[in-house]
């Protein structure tokens, strides 16, 4: 939100008055005078006028969870346990999931209260690579490699997926790198070539790699370097 709008909303002044306060150096963002009324200020920033706080800095949270099977990527559900049961309740406020996994799938799940950050992580147009380890019902054929490299047509979205890479581990096991993260994308791509995914485990999103030593059901805060990588 622009700084002038925050002053108007929180301080009860007109936009013209807000601009004047900013221009005369009476407004500080995170303790530093800001004279740019168009400066974008997030809810994680402290804003003050003449030394009086009008917006308290909200603590930002960025968590990595090693999701076990059987948990929904949802806030609440009447039937199944959700991943929020695995997160301390004191951290729940404003938390949402950046890139869901279905109930049977496992691995890297990101939870944050920073909507702008999570949109950059998951927006298909940005094409951050997502790496999954998959096991399939049938052997992975040369045709599958070729079709994935060309992109798979999704009728519902009326689009062709970005080229994906397959790194075979065994004849029915591989690492798949995709660049969009659409709804059930990996499973739908294999379905399109006549195969079925029997297990799916997300290992990486961009430069954020799931820790091998992080047990299923456990989580940790992302490092400053991981946060900055998005």
Task: Please state, in angstroms and as integers, the Cα–Cα distance from residue 180 to each residue in 92, 205, 211, 215, following that order.
Answer: 27, 11, 22, 27
HEC states along 125-166?
HHCCCEEEEEEECCCCCHHHHHHHHHCCEECCCCEECCCCEE
Dist. CA 144–CA 12, nearest whole Å = 60
Looking at residue 180, which CATH number applies to its domain?
3.30.2350.10
The predicted model scores a pTM of 0.84
| Residues 34 and 11 occupy one common structural domain | yes
Whether 28 and 69 share a structural domain:
no
5-35 tens-digit pLDDT: 988 887 778 989 999 999 999 999 999 999 9
Q: Which two tokens stand for residue 212?
A: 């091998």
Question: Where residue 120 falls among pLDDT bands split at 50, 70, 90?
Answer: very high
Of these residues, 36, 77, 93, 102, which one is catalytic? 102
Domain holding 170, by residue range, is 62-228
User: Treating both helix axes as pointing N-terminal to C-terminal, what angle do 185-192 and 142-150 enclose, rounded to 10 degrees?
Assistant: 120
- Dist. CA 216–CA 65, nearest whole Å: 8
What CATH number did the domain enclosing 49 receive? 3.10.290.10
Question: What count of other Cβ atoms lies within 10 Å of the Cβ of residue 158?
Answer: 7
* Residues 84 and 140 occupy one common structural domain: yes
Our answer to whether residue 212 is catalytic in this structure is: no
* Residues 176, 146 within the same domain: yes
Spatial separation of the C-alpha atoms in residues 87 and 111, rounded to whole Å: 10
Local confidence band at 56 (pLDDT 50, 70, 90 cut-offs): confident
């Amino acid at each position: 939100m622009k700084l002038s709008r925050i002053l108007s909303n929180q301080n009860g002044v007109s936009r013209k008055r807000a601009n004047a306060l900013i221009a005369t150096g009476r407004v500080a963002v995170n303790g530093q005078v800001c004279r740019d009324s168009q400066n974008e200020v997030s809810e994680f920033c402290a804003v003050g006028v003449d030394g009086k706080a009008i917006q308290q800095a909200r603590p930002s949270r960025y968590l990595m969870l090693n999701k076990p099977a059987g948990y929904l990527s949802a806030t609440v559900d009447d039937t199944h346990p959700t991943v929020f049961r695995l997160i301390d309740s004191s951290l729940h406020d404003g938390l949402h999931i950046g890139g869901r996994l279905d109930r049977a799938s496992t691995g890297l799940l990101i939870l944050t209260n920073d909507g702008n950050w999570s949109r950059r992580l998951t927006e298909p147009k940005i094409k951050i690579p997502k790496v999954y380890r998959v096991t399939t019902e049938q052997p992975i054929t040369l045709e599958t490699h070729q079709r994935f490299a060309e992109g798979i047509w999704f009728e519902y979205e009326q689009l062709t997926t970005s080229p994906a890479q397959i790194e075979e581990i065994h004849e029915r096991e591989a690492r798949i790198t995709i660049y969009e993260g659409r709804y059930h994308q990996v499973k739908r791509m294999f379905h399109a070539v006549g195969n079925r995914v029997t297990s799916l485990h997300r290992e990486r999103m961009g430069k954020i790699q799931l820790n091998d030593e992080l047990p299923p059901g456990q989580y940790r805060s992302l490092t400053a370097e991981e946060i900055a990588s998005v």
